[in-house]
Amino acid sequence: MSKKELKFNSRAIHGGQHPDKAYGAVMPPIYQTSTYAQSTPGGHKGYEYSRGANPTRTALENAVASLENGNFGMAFGSGMAAIDAVMKLLGPGDEVICTSDLYGGSYRLFKGVFEKFGVRFRFSDMTDMEELASQINKNTKLVWVETPTNPMMNIIDIKAVSKIVKSHKLLLAVDNTFATPYLQQPLELGADIVMHSATKYLAGHSDVVVGALAVKDEKLAEQLYFIQKSSGGICGPMDSFLTLRGIKTLHVRMQRHCENGELIAKYLENHSKIDKVYWPGFENHPNHNVAKNQMRGFGGMISFVPKGGNYESAIKIVENLQLFTLAESLGGAESLVGHPASMSHGSIPKAEREKNGVVDALIRLSVGIEDITDLITDLDQALK
């Protein structure tokens, strides 16, 4: 059986992987080296210098490509380095249309770095395809989608966006960090590029900072490999190894993240002290049907607003939680809680973030894989 024919759970373990050629090691060795011996100038075994390529990183890149049903993968030193590489496909005068409800780090990179080099960014909620099409002009080169969005949990219809993008011969890139390929595979829905902050669910243990891209098109892959090698924002062999190890349990972890996420979303929805809960699994979620069609589950990310809707009540809750750790990031085995307005989205101007729903009272949960009873007990005591 070809490894490309394997079901997802098997590909998470075997996809793109082969026993090590040197000694048959089942797990890819950590090639902790910067350079490689050559028999004559240019006479090497496929590796010259580890900025360009490293065997452990190659194994990770192959695994990510396999998970996303892509043909090529690239691994970077962070999710932001991966996004940076995509933006370097553009030049002065080019325009990008982005999801309006956007991760703060992406917004900071787009507005604070690339706008200075002449790249312009427009924003759309991408729920109205006519409105999206109206924003496209002769300078538009890329549409950047985040779905589910961070932190409002909006769902963008990737197929519908792809139809508009393809009709204008543009590139479509999707940040798949929240969903992971376990829940959705954007390349299969028409995207050209898939991006992951592999720090999160792919690695899954809060012990590395890694980014990744996956594509199908060879010409596009060549451009991204050139940028990766030239800019040098790569991840090291140890981080590659740890991310590979995490990927092998992705399917098992995501199943529990989804199970726990659903139970906590329903608990919060029925709690007398909670005003709003944002989770795409609810039938009254505005994008529920889209989520149901393009995702295999609804994930473990939830945002909510306590009644009263003020900063002080939100801060009191996040400080009182004990099993949920107050920390940046998400997607680890352990449950985390964050306050987007002052943490992940602190770089977005207040008026801009509030326009998209990121109010001062909003709390974001990354629901882990602990026992659900303990997680609900912790929420109970924090919400008293």
- Residues recognised as catalytic: 51, 103, 175, 200
DSSP 47-78: -SBTTT--HHHHHHHHHHHHHTT-SEEEEESS
- For 24, the enclosing helix (H) or strand (E) is none
- The answer to whether 299 and 183 are in contact (CB under 8 A) is yes
- The answer to whether 314 and 362 are in contact (CB under 8 A) is yes
Measure the CA angle with vertex 115, ends 199 and 187; round to 5°. 45
Q: State how far the Cα of 126 lies from the Cα of 213, in Å rounded to an integer.
A: 22
What residue type is assigned to position 348 of the chain? I
- The answer to whether 201 and 191 are in contact (CB under 8 A) is no
Sheet holding 95-99, edge to edge: 72-76, 211-215, 193-197, 171-175, 140-146, 95-99, 120-124
Cα torsion angle, 51, 56, 58, 63, sign:
negative
